[in-house]
Amino acid sequence: MTTRTLMLEGLEERHPGLTRRVADSFAEAARVCLDRHHTSPIPFRIDRGENSCEAEAAWESTDERTKLAWANTTDTTRDGAYCIAIAAIEVTDGLVAVGRAETHTGADYYLGEPRERLEDLEKSLRLEVSGVDHGILTTLRGRLAQKVRQAKDGNSSLPAIAAVVGFSSSTVLTADVNSE
């Protein structure tokens, strides 16, 4: 398995769908989540079928003030997972976050080719992300199955990539959800 680098910082430089503030926010959340279980650097296992690989994640550890600011565990895990998942798909598929659109329950990110001007979202892939703080592989697999089901329900004509990030297990599981 080839080892690569999971680049958590500066996402906005490579992903036009992220503003600098959002990218910084996601990266900070990821650092808080990683600090709960690990010391930098660590290998992340990315399960992506034929493109599966190990990627090293390195980060600056967070201070107490930052940890307190991210005390809401649920939001932190979600935002940290977005950071890791977007960086992971960039490594395995070469795709970047090209846009975002609001929904009733939040917002969805869309993936596309880097350096292409976004004319529409007809060929973009929707990204469905979930984060698990503690949890063994079985938990992550169960969550991935749920995300795949969720990606299909109510969005049956939109192809998507579902990704589950396990922080304690330093694993990213992915699955493709194809349009019907």
Residue numbers of the site for other proteins (CB under 8 A)?
A: 17, 19, 21-22, 25, 72-75, 78, 99-108, 110, 117-122, 130-135, 139, 142-143, 146, 150, 153-158
CA neighbor of 154 nearest in space, from 114, 104, 109, 117: 104
Whose Cβ is closer to other proteins: residue 88's or residue 165's? Answer: 165
Whose Cβ is closer to other proteins: residue 43's or residue 99's? Answer: 99
Whose Cβ is closer to other proteins: residue 64's or residue 119's? Answer: 119
User: Which burial class, exposed, middle or buried, applies to 155 when counting CB atoms under 10 A from its CB (0-12, 13-18, 19+)?
Assistant: middle
Whose Cβ is closer to other proteins: residue 90's or residue 128's? Answer: 128
d(CA 126, CA 111): 6
CB of 27 to other proteins, least distance (A): 14
CB of 177 to other proteins, least distance (A): 12
Distance of CA 44 to the CA centre of its chain: 12
Supply 167's token pair: 């922080």
Radius of gyration over every alpha carbon of the chain, rounded to an integer in angstroms: 15
CB of 19 to other proteins, least distance (A): 5
